[in-house]
Every structure is written in structure tokens, then in C-alpha cells.
Structure 1
Amino acid sequence: MEPKAHHIIIGLFTLLAFAAALLFALWLAKSSADRNWSFYQIGFNHPVSGLSKGNPVLYSGVQVGDVVDLHLDPRDPSHVRVLIRVDQDIPIRENTRAGLVLANITGSMSIQFTGGTLDSPILEGSMEDPPLIMARRSAFDNLMANGQDLLQQADALLTNANRMFSQQNTDNLSSILTTTREAVEALMAQRAEFSQLLTRLDTAGQRAAEASVKVAQVSDTVNTLLTNDGQAALASLEQTLTTIQATAARIDRLTRENEGAMDSGLQGMGELAPALRELRSTLRNLNQFTRRLGEDPTRTIWGGETIKELSQ
């Protein structure tokens, strides 16, 4: 009897739970039927993958309605028209924006309203004549629309990466790294010489700095000389040039005044030219006589032949 009583209790509990669930569903249906709805038509000029009947309609993240129907625009099948219903107490204005948002990780989409200022008129929507609200493409829509292109570019990138890391390129890279390591090791082996070279360069730089200082000092000295003593030298040179000009003027005047006397003197000097030639010839002969007299005075004076010694 005891097991049978347990089954009766379990059965009664099941019936009561089912009745409560049914009553709750009827209450929800009645509550939904008693609500007043405003109907709007959302126009999409791009695909609406993931959107279906019954999906929620949100306003700033809060559910205010759901999707009633979806169909293609008969005039342009690339456009989609979505009929939605929104609680009549929610004001949908003319500047309210609509778009798609991701509902969950399964890819289901929802329609979301944003914006709408108080000074904008309210859109009154009915089932027979729902106003059209054009949806704006969001960043997520662009990502979904360009997903195929992104995948193709990613595939091309991976293909190029595989080509770049081919066996030949890997061997070339290994060879470059080996050569670089050998060069670095060679440089490290000669670091002492590089240190000495740097020291010499530093010393040369110091000497160049000292030389530049000396050049600057010499330049200052020359500038001082040109400024002070140079002025006096220029004044003296100017006086000298003045004196030379005066002397040249006097010589020119004397030349013009004594032109006749100078011509006579030049004529006399022309007559002295033969006498000077004879005197030069006499002096040359006298020079030869003196030289012979020094070399062989006997022969020169007496005119005889000199006695030559005979070899035995």
C-alpha cells in the first residue's frame, strides 16, 4: 500500500505543476493580447543574416517589442523589409535610428533603436500602414559584409607567409645570420684596435679644437692689426703715392723743358759707341796677355819655344 500511495502523490504533484504552467502561459498570452502595439517597417539595404520572426526589438538595450514578419522588397530583392511591433507607450520619433545588434554568440540578431530627441515628432504606426524607418549600417554589419574579403585577404597573407618561410628562404636567412655572427665576432676580436682608434680620434678632435682656438686668436690679432696699424700703413702708403705722383710730374716737366739737350746728349752717346767697342777689344787682349804671362812668362816675353822635358 505504501508504494502505491507514493505514486499517487507524485501523480498529483505532476498534475498540479502542469496546471500551474498552463495557467501562467494563459496569463502571459492574455497579458500580451491586452497590450497595445505600434507597428513599424524597418528597411535594410544590406543582408540581415540571423534575424528572424520573434527576435526581440530593443530600445537602448531594453526589449520593447519583437519581429513580426520579414520579406524582400518586390522592387529590389537586395533590400529587406522587416515588420516589427513596439509597445505603444514607447515613443518612436522621426529622428530615432534603427540598426542590427548581435543578440548572442549563436549569431542571432536583434533590432535596436537609438537616439530620438524630444523636439522631434512621434511616428504613429499601425498594422495597416506602418511607417518606414531606414536602418543604418553599423560597424558590425560592415564587418559581416566584408568578412569574406577579410578571409580571402587572410588566406592570401598566410599563403605569402608560407612562401616567405620556404626552405630556400630559411636557408638564406640562416646564412645571413651566420655571416652576421661571424662579422660581429670579428669586430669583437678587434675591439682593442677600435678602442685605440677611438682614442686617436678623440685626441685628433682635441687638437683640432685647440687649432681652431689658435686660428681664432690669430684672426683676432690680424683683425686688430688691420684695424689699428693697418690704418697707419695705409696713410703712409697714401703719402708715398702722393710724393711719387708729384715726382713723376716734375720729371715729366723737366723732360719737356730739356728735350733738346737730351737729344744732343743721346747723339753724343751714339758717337762714343765705337770707342767703347775698341776699348772692350783692348781690354780683352790685355786679359789674354796677362793669362799667358802667368802660364808661360818666358815664351810670352821672348817669343821662344819652351824647353820640353824628355822622358827617359
Structure 2
Amino acid sequence: MEPKAHHIVIGFFTLTAVVAALLFALWLGKSSADTEWAWYRIGFDHPVGGLAEGNPVLYSGINIGTVEELTLAPENPAHVRVLVRVDKKIPIRENTKAGLVMANITGSMSVQFTGGTPDSPVLEGNRGNPPLIQAQPSTLSNLLSNSETLLTKADQLLENANNLLSEQNLDNIAAILDNTRQASNALLDSRDELAAMLKQFRAAGARTEDAAGRVSGAADHARNVLSDLEPVIASLDRSVNALEPTLERIDNLTANNQQALDAGLQGVGELGPSLRELRNTLRNLNSFTRRLEQDTVGTLLGEDTMKEYRE
């Protein structure tokens, strides 16, 4: 009796589970049939690996529909057109953005809508002529599309690293290290000479500092001398300023009496012959005076003497 009772219980639970699954499927189908859908076509200009029919369509992470069809663009096979249906209650606007997101760790992808402001017009998505929404490239899609380039660059990097660590370069590095060690040993051996050289440098620095102090003192003295000369220069400046009116008056006087000055200079030129005659007369008078002192009577009464004088 017990085996029959266990079979009856197992059969009852199995039948109950099947009926519940059928009821859930009927409810789900009825719910799907009662939902009004809007249709949109999304354009991708890059591969959409991992996206398949039936994958979910999300809006800010919330499931609002499914992917219905994937086709290649007739004008450019490198582009993909994805037909999706979403709940008509969800407003898809003109500035709403679409892209791909990873659904799970297996690589399955989902279409996701983001953005869309209330002031933007709503896109009416009908089945016969669904509006086209250009997808925005996501970081993940860019990474996947550029993975080949990244791998190529990584391979080149490894190859360059291998070339850098070649046997010849390793020998060169060893030689450089050996030379560095020898240079270090030479510096250690010459540390006394280096210390003496540093001491000389310090002494030269002290002398330079002393010379700089002297130069600074000379500069201060020159500054003081210049400060003492400032009153003299100011006095000369005042004197020159005082002479300017006098010079200006002399200039005006000369300009206003130019004709008189010219006439005076001409008169001085005419005085030349008269001065020569006067000079000759004075010379004769001096000669007569000397004769008169030597021979007064003869000079006054002598005819010959007078003739000689006249000569």
C-alpha cells in the first residue's frame, strides 16, 4: 500500500506543476497579446556580436520589449538594422539614444534606450514603417571592435621587448654597468682630490662674495656722489633757464637792428685807409721828434735838414 500511496502523491504534484506551468504560459500569452507595441528600427554602423532575436530591449535598465529581427543594411552590408518592439506606453522620443549593453557574462547583448527629454517629440513606431534610430557606439562595442588592433599592438610591444632584451643588448648593458662600476671606483679613489677641489671652490666663493661686497660699496659711494651733484645740476639747470630769456632778447635785438649793424660794419671797413694814413702820420711825427731832440736848432733852422725831413 505504501508504494502506491507514494506514486499517487508524486503523480499529484507532477500534474499540479504541469497545470501551473500551462496556466502561467496562458497568462503570459494573454498578457503579451493585450500589450500594445511600438516598432522601431535601430541602425548600427559596427558589428553587433552577441545580439540575437528574442533578446531583451531595455530602457535605462528596465525591460520594455524584445529584438524581433536583425538584417544587413541594403545600401551598406557593413551596417546592421535591428527591428525591435517596445511597450507603446514607453515614450521613445527624437532625442532618445540607443546602444548595446552586455546582458550577462556569456557575451549576450541587449539593446538599451537612454535619454530623451519631455520637450522632445515622441516617435510614432508603427509596424509597417518603423522610424530609424541611429545607435550610438558604446565603450564596450568600441573595445570589441578595436580588440584586434589592441592585440596587434600588444604583439608588436612584446616583439620590441624581445628585441630590446636580445643577447647583444644584454652584453651592452653589462658593459655599461661595468663602466659605471669602474667610474664609481675611480671617484672613490679620487675623493681626497675632490674634497680639496671643493675646498678651493668654497674659498673662491668667499673671495667672490667679498668682491661683490666691495662692488656694492663702490656703487653706494657713487650713488652718494650723484646725490650730492643733484643740487649743482639743478642750479645749472636754473641758470640755463634764466639765460634763455636774455639770449632770446639778444636774438630779437640782433634781428631788429640787422641793417644798422650792417651799416656799422661797412663804416668800419671804410675806416681802414684813414687808419693807415694816421699810422703814417704818427710814424713821421715820431721821426721828427727824435730829430728835434738830437738837433733842435738845426732841425728848426736848417733848410737841408728840413729837406731831408721832407724826404
TM-score range, shorter chain: 0.5 to 0.7
Change in CA separation of 1:23 and 1:189 when aligned onto 2, cut-off 3 Å: farther
Which sits farther off after the overlay, 207-216 or 183-192?
A: 183-192
Which residue does 1:96 correspond to in 2? 96
Counting only pairs closer than 5 Å after superposition, residues 97-246 of structure 1 correspond to structure 2 as 97-218=97-218
Q: CA deviation at 1:171?
A: 2.0
Which residue does 1:31 correspond to in 2? 31
Q: CA deviation at 1:4?
A: 3.3
Change in CA separation of 1:209 and 1:18 when aligned onto 2, cut-off 3 Å: same
Q: CA deviation at 1:75?
A: 2.6
Provide the C-alpha distance between the structure 2 equivalents of 1:206 and 1:181, rounded to a whole number of angstroms. Answer: 35
Provide the C-alpha distance between the structure 1 equivalents of 2:79 and 2:228, rounded to a whole number of angstroms. Answer: 97
Change in CA separation of 1:219 and 1:13 when aligned onto 2, cut-off 3 Å: closer
Give percent identity, aligned residues only: 57
Change in CA separation of 1:67 and 1:215 when aligned onto 2, cut-off 3 Å: same
Which residue does 2:272 correspond to in 1? none
Change in CA separation of 1:226 and 1:134 when aligned onto 2, cut-off 3 Å: closer
Change in CA separation of 1:79 and 1:216 when aligned onto 2, cut-off 3 Å: closer
Cα displacement string for residues 10-45 of structure 1 (whole angstroms, at most 9, x for unaligned residues) = 232222222222222222222112111111111112
Provide the C-alpha distance between the structure 2 equivalents of 1:117 and 1:58, rounded to a whole number of angstroms. Answer: 17
Question: TM-score w.r.t. structure 2 length?
Answer: 0.67
Change in CA separation of 1:215 and 1:72 when aligned onto 2, cut-off 3 Å: closer
Change in CA separation of 1:188 and 1:10 when aligned onto 2, cut-off 3 Å: farther
Matched AA of 1:32: S
Cα displacement string for residues 33-83 of structure 1 (whole angstroms, at most 9, x for unaligned residues) = 211111111111222111110111111121111101111122322221111
Which residue does 1:261 correspond to in 2? none
Provide the C-alpha distance between the structure 2 equivalents of 1:193 and 1:75, rounded to a whole number of angstroms. Answer: 83
Provide the C-alpha distance between the structure 1 equivalents of 2:105 and 2:154, rounded to a whole number of angstroms. Answer: 23
| Contiguous gaps of at least 5 residues in structure 2 | 233-311
Change in CA separation of 1:134 and 1:224 when aligned onto 2, cut-off 3 Å: closer
Change in CA separation of 1:15 and 1:228 when aligned onto 2, cut-off 3 Å: closer
Which residue does 2:41 correspond to in 1? 41
Matched AA of 1:157: L
Which residue does 2:72 correspond to in 1? 72
Change in CA separation of 1:221 and 1:84 when aligned onto 2, cut-off 3 Å: closer
Matched AA of 1:137: P
Q: CA deviation at 1:119?
A: 1.2
Q: CA deviation at 1:104?
A: 2.1
Which residue does 2:59 correspond to in 1? 59
Matched AA of 1:9: V
Question: TM-score w.r.t. structure 1 length?
Answer: 0.67
Cα displacement string for residues 184-223 of structure 1 (whole angstroms, at most 9, x for unaligned residues) = 2332343343333223211210111112222443455577
Change in CA separation of 1:22 and 1:213 when aligned onto 2, cut-off 3 Å: same
Change in CA separation of 1:188 and 1:29 when aligned onto 2, cut-off 3 Å: farther
Matched AA of 1:2: E
Cα displacement string for residues 223-270 of structure 1 (whole angstroms, at most 9, x for unaligned residues) = 7779989x9xxxxxxxxxxxxxxxxxxxxxxxxxxxxxxxxxxxxxxx
Change in CA separation of 1:218 and 1:110 when aligned onto 2, cut-off 3 Å: same
Provide the C-alpha distance between the structure 1 equivalents of 2:55 and 2:225, rounded to a whole number of angstroms. Answer: 101
Change in CA separation of 1:87 and 1:207 when aligned onto 2, cut-off 3 Å: same
